[in-house]
Amino acid sequence: MSYFSDRYGPWAIIAGASQGIGEQFSRQLAAKGINLIMIARGLQDLQRVAETVRSEFGIEVETCSLDLSATDLAEQLEALAGDREIGLVVYNATYSYIGPFHEDTADSRQLSVDVNCRGPLVFIDAFSKPMVQRKRGGIILVSSMSGFQGSALVSTYAATKSFVTTLAEGLWEELRHDGVDVIACVAGATRTPNFNRLTPADRAGSAFPMEPEEVVSQSLVALENGKGPTYIIGRINNLVAFVLRRCLSRRGAVEFLSKATRKLYG
């Protein structure tokens, strides 16, 4: 058994497991010999990935199409996990509206808060206590460069990702004394199906998107090597973060990101 699977196995639960970054978490964790509970809304893609990792890596896989905004999410997770020993939580699921705030709906904003903020809290509450008792485990919260400051067209999404990053940072300090590793993995533009669907093809290159494989491989190395509480993925993203946080005022950073977002999606 490898160090990774010994520390973060025998089971991992992945929210948002069927496409893009989530699919790569499924594949790369399976390659490390960790059994998977895979959660996503789209059952067809979920089953496709599950069958692939099951046949390629010979691991156990449980799948579930689950609404992460459900009011009984905690009860559903408890039933899904059963008596399995969950050593790693990966919360990759997200909901994002892109467009003017006044054109969004109250239901859409609430869904963003439920999926992006309440969801990770429920997962952490469900699985961190046994990790603390065992004195080992890991939690990966996938966050976004948008969470470092507000931005036009993604105001609600950016606010929820700020919550995710701050939550991970506080838990990193709190739980590491009990042997549980927590990290916020901050991704920038990534060439996922959602990115390809939402981003005009002739503008996508200006966002310098990374490939999901690299985002996930860097995230897992960062977790294993104790790079928390916050790990920004990719050299370009690190450069952008340096400029936004060290070279510009808060107002300047918001204006800079808003201009870039409008150029990409406006």
Give the least confident one: 8-12, 203-207, 228-232.
Answer: 203-207
pLDDT band at 229 (very low <50, low <70, confident <90, very high): very high
Distance, in Å, from the CA atom of 28 to the CA atom of 177, rounded to the nearest integer, reads: 27
Q: What local confidence, expressed as pLDDT, does residue 145 receive?
A: 95
Neighbours of 25 (CB within 10 A): 27
Q: What local confidence, expressed as pLDDT, does residue 6 receive?
A: 94
Distance, in Å, from the CA atom of 245 to the CA atom of 192, rounded to the nearest integer, reads: 27
- The distance of Cα 21 from the centroid of its chain, to the nearest Å, equals 8
Give the least confident one: 34-38, 107-111, 196-200, 241-245.
Answer: 196-200
> How many percent of the chain have pLDDT more than 90?
91
Q: Which of 83, 180, 170 is nearest to 139 (CA)?
A: 180
Domain 77-265 fold is Rossmann fold (3.40.50)
pLDDT band at 1 (very low <50, low <70, confident <90, very high): low
- The distance of Cα 89 from the centroid of its chain, to the nearest Å, equals 10
Domain boundaries along the sequence of the chain: 77-265
Q: What local confidence, expressed as pLDDT, does residue 197 receive?
A: 86
pLDDT above 70: residue 258:
yes
Distance, in Å, from the CA atom of 76 to the CA atom of 132, rounded to the nearest integer, reads: 22
pLDDT above 90: residue 54:
yes
pLDDT above 90: residue 199:
no
pLDDT above 90: residue 3:
no
- Measured between alpha carbons, how far is residue 250 from residues 100, 163, 239, 246 in Å? 21, 18, 17, 10
**Phi, psi values for residue 15, rounded to 5°:** -95, 125
Average pLDDT, the chain: 96
Q: In what order do the strands lie in the sheet with 86-91?
A: 61-65, 35-40, 11-15, 86-91, 137-144, 180-187, 230-232
pLDDT band at 2 (very low <50, low <70, confident <90, very high): confident
Q: What local confidence, expressed as pLDDT, does residue 102 receive?
A: 97
pLDDT band at 125 (very low <50, low <70, confident <90, very high): very high
Query: Strands 86-91, 61-65: parallel, antiparallel or unpaired by DSSP?
Result: unpaired
